[in-house]
Chain A
């Protein structure tokens, strides 16, 4: 059964860039920063492509932001193999409610069988959109999708999807990473899944893919055209660097260490 899969591609600061808080403490310094796709979203796109390679179907990729996000939609998202893109043109602040609302409206129109999102974005590490989206749509959700096999395993080398579609095409089996182990669940379609690091190793955007990406369909919408109010419910009060770690000390013996752990650090 062919699957229609919706995936996300958030533009985030490149983790190689040095992040600095601006002097006013209202945000980070954007000048000179490099940007890339959220690595968890890249994993989501890879999983969607493996699923459609096996079952047929279509991968639609969505990004929200100013015109610069088109860069990430074209490459790597479309260049990796996604079929088409939807760009929600929005400049200004947004929070997870606004983002989930945009995705909800797009899902209501596109009616995908499955949404795959990064479990979180590496910029603000909120990790909430996937669950908000599932809740808003009333769909089942499978967060932190992972797999039992390692990234060096044969299953990974054969590019088999880790999210397994049932024989009747009505549900998916997802191995979730939970505290202390793995949990396998079955989720009825339509569903929302979010990706862990160990789900797969994303392919590179190939050169022919990069060339093809520029002619693939890219639809522009706005929050207003979707009927979404992007006014954030969250206000950033202040942004600061975490305090610098203090130098450690040497303790004389084990009892002294136990004493410090118990009474000073209160760790045990």
Chain B
């Protein structure tokens, strides 16, 4: 079923072949080992950077290609087919949340210091909002950054930070004016090795095992005011703006993963035999696959719709939230059904479907939970 023909043109499809070839050569053969090791080699960032994967939306002056959202959409769909949500997330964060704020709001100096080397794969970035005492509540952040002369002094901690362990820099959301709610938030770049900044622990996860996820702590951590991203106390709006594209990429990633999940289910049921015939010949299995294909297609079309709106410059807050929720929940459901179709094999670690099942579960949680998506949608409805 070719559903993307109206959204992606010939060049996007040519780029898709490049990403596919990259995934097949550089990632897929190593997925099992990397998942077991709970990490992937840093060199993969170099390889991905050589192909320009981190600079698709960014200016040529900083090493990007300014190719646009559709190319990055292709990248996210195809990366997610590698079968390791963790690898896709580690590379994905570098292309979106860890670099997006610098591109949108950073000074030329910040772009040269951090964005350009991140696009070139020379340094790894992370974006830190979530805290141990509160997840989605950006207005209620506890981490503070008080101004002392030409420095900000950061105190607090962050958790569930993708790429946090090996990040060379972290964009930290902190309160520069704790007396105010969301109007007192700013984004500040903290470099690895800055005194007072430590990685408190690497976190163990249900899925996304190949990605590095950290808890970070800041104690009297002094960074120059030049590291402020955008305007002081304007961080909330900036963070929310950056989340839009992140959510779309999470929806696109869910589509890519669901494509692979569906392909694995099809491959299994068309070869597995029971009661003298292929499992796929039972009507109950045929109908299950028909429903799965329908749900995947519906999520794909809503996501592509949100993507087209976003690329056209529309502030599609509602559609993006809907797409993120629908696509990630669809992926979770498909993974569960595909695992069920595998029977006993689905529960065995040696089959790949269990990894999708574990990885997909993060979809409705990360980048804003389904509940937060519903809040956004409800607000759009005037409720």
A262 at the interface (CB under 8 A from B): no
Q: How far is the CA of A201 from the CA of B25 in the complex (A)?
A: 10
Q: How far is the CA of A74 from the CA of B17 in the complex (A)?
A: 12
Stretch at the interface among B7-15, B229-237, B326-334: B7-15
CB pair B14–A210 under 8 Å, yes or no, is yes
A74 with B14, Cβ < 8 A, contacts A206-B51, A206-B52 known: yes
8 Å CB interface, A225-250 against B: none
Binding site for B on A (CB under 8 A): 36, 71, 74-76, 79, 201, 204-208, 210-211, 213-214
Residues of A within 8 Å of B277, CB to CB, are none
CB pair A79–B52 under 8 Å, yes or no, is no
Apart from the given pairs A79-B14, A207-B51, A207-B65, 4 other A-B contacts in the complex at a CB distance below 8 Å:
A74-B14, A76-B14, A204-B18, A205-B15
A207 with B22, Cβ < 8 A, contacts A71-B10, A75-B17, A76-B17 known: no
B40 at the interface (CB under 8 A from A): no
Q: How far is the CA of A36 from the CA of B18 in the complex (A)?
A: 11
Q: How far is the CA of A227 from the CA of B117 in the complex (A)?
A: 55
B348 at the interface (CB under 8 A from A): no
CB pair A204–B14 under 8 Å, yes or no, is no
CB pair B17–A36 under 8 Å, yes or no, is yes
A-contact bits for B3-44, CB 8 A (1 contact / 0 none): 000000011001101100110010000000000000000000
Size range of the chain B interface in the assembly: 10 to 19
CB pair B67–A204 under 8 Å, yes or no, is no
Residues of B within 8 Å of A36, CB to CB, are 17
Q: How far is the CA of A259 from the CA of B22 in the complex (A)?
A: 49
Q: How far is the CA of A210 from the CA of B56 in the complex (A)?
A: 13
- Quick one: which of A79, A207, A210, A211 has the most chain B CB within 10 A? A207
Residues of B within 8 Å of A206, CB to CB, are 18, 51-52
Residues of A within 8 Å of B10, CB to CB, are 71, 74
CB pair B15–A207 under 8 Å, yes or no, is yes
Residues of A within 8 Å of B21, CB to CB, are 204
Q: How far is the CA of A40 from the CA of B10 in the complex (A)?
A: 23
B76 at the interface (CB under 8 A from A): no
8 Å CB interface, B324-373 against A: none
Nearest residue (CB) in A for B52 is A207
A207 with B71, Cβ < 8 A, contacts A71-B10, A214-B11 known: yes
A207 with B18, Cβ < 8 A, contacts A71-B10, A214-B11 known: yes
CB pair A204–B51 under 8 Å, yes or no, is yes
CB pair B51–A210 under 8 Å, yes or no, is no
Q: How far is the CA of A76 from the CA of B16 in the complex (A)?
A: 11
Residues of A within 8 Å of B15, CB to CB, are 205, 207, 210
Residues of A within 8 Å of B22, CB to CB, are 204
The 9 closest A-B pairs by CB, nearest first: A75-B14, A210-B14, A204-B18, A205-B18, A207-B52, A210-B11, A207-B65, A204-B21, A204-B51
Q: How far is the CA of A71 from the CA of B71 in the complex (A)?
A: 18
* A135, chain B: closest CB distance, angstroms: 34
Residues of B within 8 Å of A201, CB to CB, are 25
CB pair B65–A208 under 8 Å, yes or no, is yes
Nearest residue (CB) in A for B19 is A204
8 Å CB interface, B48-86 against A: 51-52, 56, 65, 67, 71
Q: How far is the CA of A75 from the CA of B71 in the complex (A)?
A: 15
Q: How far is the CA of A71 from the CA of B17 in the complex (A)?
A: 12
A-contact bits for B188-228, CB 8 A (1 contact / 0 none): 00000000000000000000000000000000000000000
Q: List 17 A-B contacts (CB under 8 A).
A: A71-B14, A75-B11, A76-B14, A201-B25, A204-B22, A205-B15, A205-B17, A206-B51, A206-B52, A207-B15, A207-B18, A207-B67, A208-B52, A208-B65, A210-B15, A211-B67, A214-B11
- Quick one: which of A76, A201, A210 has the most chain B CB within 10 A? A210
Q: How far is the CA of A213 from the CA of B10 in the complex (A)?
A: 12
A207 with B17, Cβ < 8 A, contacts A71-B10, A214-B11 known: no
CB pair B14–A205 under 8 Å, yes or no, is yes
Residues of B within 8 Å of A75, CB to CB, are 11, 14, 17-18
Q: How far is the CA of A62 from the CA of B56 in the complex (A)?
A: 31
Nearest residue (CB) in B for A36 is B17
Q: How far is the CA of A91 from the CA of B65 in the complex (A)?
A: 37
Residues of B within 8 Å of A207, CB to CB, are 15, 18, 51-52, 56, 65, 67, 71
* B47, chain A: closest CB distance, angstroms: 10
Q: How far is the CA of A205 from the CA of B21 in the complex (A)?
A: 9
Residues of B within 8 Å of A205, CB to CB, are 14-15, 17-18
Residues of A within 8 Å of B25, CB to CB, are 201
Residues of B within 8 Å of A214, CB to CB, are 11
Q: How far is the CA of A71 from the CA of B25 in the complex (A)?
A: 22
Residues of A within 8 Å of B56, CB to CB, are 207
* B84, chain A: closest CB distance, angstroms: 19
* B315, chain A: closest CB distance, angstroms: 27
Q: How far is the CA of A73 from the CA of B349 in the complex (A)?
A: 42
Q: How far is the CA of A36 from the CA of B52 in the complex (A)?
A: 22
* B167, chain A: closest CB distance, angstroms: 25
* A209, chain B: closest CB distance, angstroms: 9
Residues of B within 8 Å of A71, CB to CB, are 10, 14
Nearest residue (CB) in B for A210 is B14
Q: How far is the CA of A94 from the CA of B298 in the complex (A)?
A: 42
Q: How far is the CA of A75 from the CA of B52 in the complex (A)?
A: 17
* A69, chain B: closest CB distance, angstroms: 13
A-contact bits for B298-332, CB 8 A (1 contact / 0 none): 00000000000000000000000000000000000
* A36, chain B: closest CB distance, angstroms: 7
